[in-house]
DNA sequence: TTGTACGCGTTATCAT
DNA sequence: ATGATAACGCGTACAA
C-alpha cells in the first residue's frame, strides 16, 4: 500500500463509506446525498486527492498521451513544432512524450516500438533522414494507433500527413506581390534536383500566369540553400532592381483512403 | 475487452495455462518447464505481446516517467537541455513528458500539478521568469517526488540544483589562458548588477591572482549582453592588443540538507 | 511445476 | 441513496 498517494480507499475508510460512494460523490453523481457529497469533496480537497491516471488508463484503455518523434530536438524547426504540439495537446487534456530518432532508421524503429508499448493514444512524427524502408509502420497501422507524419512523409495514402505546400505558398506570395503593386517579381530557388525547388518554381510560374505577368528567366536565380549562395543570388537579382522574397504556406493533407 | 492489445490472459487462454504461468515463463522464471516456457515465449513473440506499463505502474507505483518543465521550448538553450535529458532518460528506461510554462507563474503551477497527477517518478525543471513565490513546491516536496532545478533555481537547501558555476568557469578559463602562455588576459562582463556578472568577474580575478597576474582595470570591459555592445567592448579591448575569451563550466550542486 | 487468490485504483453494473 | 462486485493487466505469496 502506497502512502504516497491518497486513493478512493483512503477517503472511503476515513469517512466510513464505500469506495463507490466516494467515486460517485466526487463526480457529483445525482444519486449521492448532498451531505455525503459535501463531506467527501471536502476531504478530497483537503487530502489533495487526484485520481490515478494509471488506473483510469487501464480501465478505459486510454492514456491521454501523444507520442512525438522528431529527428532532432534542437533545430528550431522541430522545437517550434514540438512547442505547438505541446500547447495544443495540453489544451485538450493530453500530454506528450518526446522521442528523438537522431536521423537514424534503427533509432526511429526503436522509438516507434517504445511508444506503442507505452500505449500512446496517437503518434505524431517526422521521418528520419536515413529511413528508406517504411515497413516498420505496419505495426503501427495494425495497432490502429492514429499516426500523423509531418514535413517528411511516406505512405501518404494510408497515413495522414502535414506538409508545407510549397507550390501553393509560392503561388500565393507571387500573387501577393502583384496585388501589392509590384510587376517584376523574382524568385530565388534551391538546388534544381529537389522537389521543393520544383514545386516552388511551379507555384511561382503559376502565380505569374494568374497575374498575366510574363515569366522572365533572368528573374529566376538558384542557390544551394546556404547563406553565402543565397546572398550571391540576391545580389545578382538586386543588380536587376527588385528584391525578391519567398514565403511558405502550410497545408493539411488527409489520407486519400481513410 | 480490448482486442487492440494482447495480454497475459490472451496467451494463457490460447495455451490453456494460467496467467501466472505465462507471466513467469516470459520472465524466464526457473520454476517453469522449458517446454512450456518455449511455447509461451514463441506465442508471445508471434502475437507481439508487450506488457502493459499501466498495469505494471499501478502495481509498482512507478511510471518510469520523468516530467520536464521549461519556460520555453524553442530557445536553443532549453531545447538542447531537453535533448540531453531525453537521451539520458532513454538510456535508463525512462521516458519524458514535456511541459512548458511560457515564463508564466500560473502556468508553472499548473504544469507542476499536472505532472504530479500523472505520478511522474521525478521532475526536472527551470523556473519561470515570473515566479517569485516558491510555496507551490511544497506540494512536490510533500509528495516526495524527486525534484531538480536547473539554471534558475530556488530553495536550494531543500532541492537539488544544476547550475552554471560562473565563478569557477571564469577562474578556470583564466588559468587556461595563462597556462597556454598568455599574460594579458581580458574579460568582457555583462551588466554590473547581475549575479552572473559579479560571479564571473570574481572568478576572473581569482584566476589572475592564482597566476600571479595583476588585475588591470583596463582589461575589464562591460557590455549589456547584446551582440552590438559585445562587439563594441571587443573592439575596445582589441585596441589594447589581446583578444579576450570567456567560457562557462557546469557544476552539479547537491542540496546541503539531503 | 503449475494454479489460485489478492491487490494496485478506478468505473460500471447489479443488488440492496 | 448506498454498497458489494467485477473488470482492466500484471506480479507474487501461497496453495496444491
CA-CA distance, B256 to B258, in Å (whole number)?
6
Q: Does B166 touch chain A (CB under 8 A)?
A: no
Nucleotide closest to residue A22 (CA–C1'): D2
Nucleotide at minimal C1' distance from the B35 CA:
C1
Of A115, A144, A162, the last residue of a domain is A162
Q: Does A143 touch chain B (CB under 8 A)?
A: yes
Q: Are A189 and A116 found together in one domain?
A: no
User: Are B134 and B83 part of one and the same domain?
Assistant: yes
Decide: CB of B79 under 7 A of nucleic strand C.
no
Residue-wise pLDDT for B79-93, tens only, equals 999 999 999 999 999
Choice among A107-111, B67-71, B225-229 with the minimum mean pLDDT: B225-229
Nearest to B143 among A4, A96, A144 (CB): A4
Distance A53 CA to C10 C1' (A): 9
Q: How confident is the model at residue A237 (pLDDT cuts 50, 70, 90)?
A: confident
Task: Please indicate if any CB of chain B lies within 8 Å of the CB of A80.
Answer: yes
Please determine, for residue A246, whether its predicted confidence score (pLDDT) is greater than 70: no
User: Which residues in chain B have Cβ-Cβ distances shorter than 8 Å to A63?
Assistant: 54
> Is A153 a member of any domain?
yes
Mean pLDDT, range A230-249, rounded to an integer = 65
Chain B residues in contact with A52 (beta carbon < 8 A): 58, 119
Q: Does residue A191 lie within any of the structural domains?
A: yes
Scan residues 237-256 of A and list those with Cβ closer than 8 Å to B. none
* Residue-level pLDDT at A230: 87
Residue B85 in contact with residue B68, Cβ under 8 Å? yes
Residue B246 in this model has a pLDDT that exceeds 70: no
Nearest residue, CB atoms, A80 vs list B5, B74, B139: B74
B97–A99 CB contact, under 8 Å: no
- Same domain (yes/no): B232, B203: yes
Work out the percent of chain B whose per-residue pLDDT is above 90: 77
* Lowest mean pLDDT segment, chosen from B114-123, B183-192, B228-237, B243-252: B243-252
Same domain, B67 and B157: yes
Q: B219 and B183 in one domain?
A: yes
Residues of chain A with C-beta less than 8 angstroms from the C-beta of B86: 73, 98-100
Burial of A179-189, coded b for 16+ CB within 10 Å and e otherwise, reads eeebeebbbbb
List, for residues B111-161, the tens digit of each pLDDT value: 999 999 999 999 999 999 899 999 999 999 999 999 999 999 999 999 999
Same domain, B77 and B140: yes
Domain end position, chosen among B109, B136, B162: B162
Task: Report the CATH number at residue A236.
Answer: 3.40.50.2300
Confidence grade of residue A216 (pLDDT, cut at 50, 70, 90): very high
Domain-located, residue B1: no
| For residues B227-232, average pLDDT | 87
pLDDT, position A241: 58
Q: Are residues B69 and B150 in the same domain?
A: yes
pLDDT at B91 (0 to 100)? 96
Spell B63-93 as b/e; 16+ CB within 10 A means b.
bbbbbbbbbbbbeeebbebbbebbeebbeee
Q: What is the pTM of this model?
A: 0.82
**What pLDDT is stored for residue B225 in this prediction?**
82
Q: Is residue A253 part of a domain?
A: no
Q: Within this chain, do residues B134 and B172 fall inside the same structural domain, yes or no?
A: no
Structural domain total, chain A: 3
Over range B40-53, report the average pLDDT: 94
Verify whether the Cβ–Cβ distance B61 to A2 is below 8 Å.
yes
The verdict on a CB contact (< 8 Å) between B118 and A95 is yes
| Same-domain pairing of B69 and B147 | yes
Q: Considering only CA atoms, which residue is closest to the C1' of nucleotide C3? A: B18
Q: What is the pLDDT of residues B182-215, one digit of tens each?
A: 999 999 999 988 888 999 999 999 999 999 999 9
Burial label for B157, CB within 10 Å (0-12, 13-18, 19+), is exposed
Tell whether B194 is covered by a domain.
yes
Let me know whether A156 and A175 are in one domain. no
Range of the domain at A170: 166-247
Out of A116, A140, A162, a domain closes at: A162
In this complex, the residue with its CA at the shortest distance from the C1' of nucleotide D9 is: B55
Pairing outcome for strands A147-150 and A122-125? parallel
* Whole-Å CA distances, B12 to B9, B28, B197: 5, 16, 66
Least confidently predicted of A74-83, A89-98, A203-212, B2-11 = B2-11
Higher pLDDT: B255 or B29? It is: B29
CA angle B45, B46, B48 (to 5 degrees): 60
Q: Residues A23-27: what's their mean pLDDT?
A: 95
Mapping DSSP to helix (H, G, I), strand (E, B) and coil, where does residue B124 land? strand
B229 touches chain A (CB under 8 A): no
User: Is B96 part of any domain?
Assistant: yes
Q: Which whole number is the average pLDDT over A118-147?
A: 95
| A186: its cell numbers | 523574382
Q: Which residues touch strand D (CB under 7 A)?
A: A 16-21, 24, 30-33, 35-36, 55, 58-59, 61; B 1-2, 5, 7-9, 19-20, 23-24, 26-27, 49, 51-52, 54-56, 58-59
Span CA (B48) to C1' (C12), Å: 30
Counting one residue from chain A and one from chain B, the pairs whose CB atoms sit within 8 A come to: 94
With residue B86 as reference, give the H or E element that holds it. Answer: helix B76-91
Picking from A91-100, A130-139, B2-11, B165-174, which range would have the lowest pLDDT averaged per residue? B2-11
Interatomic separation, CA of residue B21 and C1' of nucleotide D14, rounded (Å): 15
> Rounded distance, CA B207 to CA B177, Å?
10
d(CA A23, CA A26): 5
Whether A258 maps to a domain, the answer reads: no
Tell if the CB–CB gap between B58 and A52 is shorter than 8 Å: yes
Mean pLDDT of chain A: 90
What do you get for the CA distance between the two ends of chain A, in Å? 46
Q: How near does any CA of chain A get to the CA of B157, in Å?
A: 23
pLDDT at B62 over 80: yes
Q: What's the whole-number mean pLDDT along residues B216-229?
A: 90
Give percent of chain A with pLDDT exceeding 90.
Answer: 79
- B151 lies in the same domain as B180: no
Is there a domain that residue B153 lies in? yes
Mean of the pLDDT values across residues A29-40? 91
Helix (H, G, I), strand (E, B) or coil at A34: helix
Residue nearest C8, CA–C1′ metric: B59
Amino acid at each position: 500500500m502506497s502512502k504516497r498517494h491518497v486513493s478512493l480507499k483512503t477517503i472511503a475508510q476515513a469517512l466510513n463509506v464505500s469506495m463507490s460512494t466516494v467515486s460517485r460523490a466526487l463526480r457529483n453523481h445525482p444519486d449521492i446525498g448532498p451531505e455525503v457529497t459535501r463531506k467527501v469533496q471536502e476531504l478530497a480537497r483537503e487530502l489533495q486527492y487526484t485520481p490515478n491516471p494509471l488506473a483510469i488508463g487501464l480501465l478505459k484503455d486510454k492514456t491521454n498521451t501523444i507520442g512525438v518523434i522528431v529527428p532532432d530536438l534542437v533545430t528550431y524547426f522541430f522545437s517550434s513544432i514540438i512547442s505547438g504540439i505541446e500547447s495544443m495537446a495540453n489544451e485538450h487534456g493530453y500530454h506528450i512524450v518526446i522521442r528523438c530518432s537522431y536521423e537514424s532508421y534503427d533509432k526511429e524503429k526503436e522509438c516507434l516500438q517504445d511508444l506503442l508499448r507505452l500505449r500512446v493514444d496517437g503518434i505524431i512524427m517526422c521521418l528520419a533522414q536515413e529511413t528508406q524502408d517504411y515497413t516498420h509502420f505496419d505495426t503501427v497501422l495494425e495497432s490502429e494507433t492514429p499516426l500523423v507524419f509531418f514535413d517528411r512523409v511516406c505512405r501518404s495514402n494510408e497515413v495522414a500527413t502535414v506538409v508545407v505546400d510549397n507550390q501553393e505558398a509560392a503561388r500565393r506570395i507571387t500573387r501577393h506581390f502583384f496585388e501589392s503593386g509590384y510587376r517584376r517579381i523574382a524568385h530565388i530557388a534551391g538546388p534544381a534536383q529537389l522537389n521543393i525547388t520544383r514545386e516552388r518554381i511551379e507555384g511561382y510560374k503559376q502565380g505569374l500566369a494568374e497575374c498575366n505577368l510574363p515569366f522572365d528567366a533572368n528573374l529566376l536565380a538558384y542557390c544551394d540553400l546556404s547563406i553565402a549562395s543565397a546572398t550571391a543570388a540576391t545580389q545578382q537579382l538586386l543588380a536587376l532592381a527588385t528584391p525578391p522574397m519567398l514565403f511558405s504556406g502550410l497545408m493539411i493533407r488527409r489520407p486519400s483512403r481513410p
